[in-house]
Structure 1
Amino acid sequence: MLNRLFALGLLGSTLIFTGCESIPTSSSHLEASNLMQLQNRTWFITHVGNSEAKIMPNMPSLQFDAATKRVTGSDGCNRLMGSYEAGRDTLVLSQMASTKMACFNGHPASQTFKDALPKVANYQVFGKTLKLLDRHGNSLIQMQSNVLVQ
């Protein structure tokens, strides 16, 4: 009788402790997956709005550092830097600054690229493609990682 009572008590405790274990939701898994794909890569511009960006040696680019929550990159001539906050599909770039060098062979899309960055509110990442979107879901900038620059 005492053994049965002990076994039932042990089984009940096990069920209680296992029931309290937190199980990650699919939403938090999706957020972690999106952030992993976004961060710690170099993204090179392919489109600004609906227009394809011309491939040149100095392509506008961005890097999102997961450890420091800093964004760095280039507009094709000047260096860009700032901070960012990202969620599952939200992205806010803040405190953006850039150098002011005189560029003779800058990228044709550099000003449009810089003008679009403050409007970014969301992002979509699919493998090697990153889309930066405004708050209405319109594509502002499309980028790719590991683009071969000719």
Structure 2
Amino acid sequence: MKKFTVATLAGALLLLGLPTTHAQVALNVDLEGSWKIVGWTLPDGVPVKNNLPRLTFTGNRVTGTAGCNRVNGTVSIRGDSVTFSALATTRMACTPAVTAQEQVFLNALSGKTLTATRLNDSLTLDTGSGMLNIRRMTIQTP
């Protein structure tokens, strides 16, 4: 899928002879599919190897795991802004390290608006105080 930028779209409008001075273009970041957190720079927490959070975006729904517990909620995407609802979670007992990871992860997303930057299968969500680095999960056939 070809990625269009605001500059590309503005250039296309100029070629068509359409005015661009008053046109406001909001291109939404495409998050459809499953993503795995591969690292972060969030304060007060460190990702736990083999228990990394995963998120699946389907329309305006987000589901996944915070490492141990399941999460779900809604998401709104406007341009490069991604707004999460208050995320609901299960309440399973987890190791202390994973529980700490989940708390930091949920605090970073739940009820917050983050800035998304996507390049191919890599996504960065900027919380304002740290970053989540995410990779698209792909299904591999034998």
Sequence identity percentage: 25
Tell me which of 59, 80, 96 is aligned to 2:87: 96
Matched, 1:116 2:116: no
What SS is found at the alignment partner of 1:103? coil
Residues 43, 52 of structure 1: alpha-carbon distance in 2 compared, 3 angstrom cutoff: same
Matched, 1:39 2:32: yes
2:47 alignment counterpart? 53
Instruction: Give the C-alpha shift of residue 63 in structure 1.
Output: 1.1
**Runs of 4+ displaced beyond 6 Å:** none
**Which one has the bigger helix percentage?**
1
- 1:92-133 residue CA offsets vs partner (Å, 9 max, x unmatched): 101411001112376352221111113333211112221222
Residues 115, 78 of structure 1: alpha-carbon distance in 2 compared, 3 angstrom cutoff: same
Residues 125, 26 of structure 1: alpha-carbon distance in 2 compared, 3 angstrom cutoff: farther
Matched, 1:83 2:77: no
Which stretch shifts more, 39-48 or 77-86?
39-48
How does the TM-score come out when normalised to structure 1? 0.62
Residues 83, 131 of structure 1: alpha-carbon distance in 2 compared, 3 angstrom cutoff: same
Gaps of 5+ in 1: 1-18, 20-24
User: Equivalents in 2 of 1:59, 1:115: separation in Å?
Assistant: 15
Contact persistence 1:116–1:140 (CA under 8 A): no
How does the TM-score come out when normalised to structure 2? 0.65
Length, aligned pairs only = 117
Gaps of 5+ in 2: 1-15, 17-22
Q: Cα RMSD over matched residues?
A: 3.2
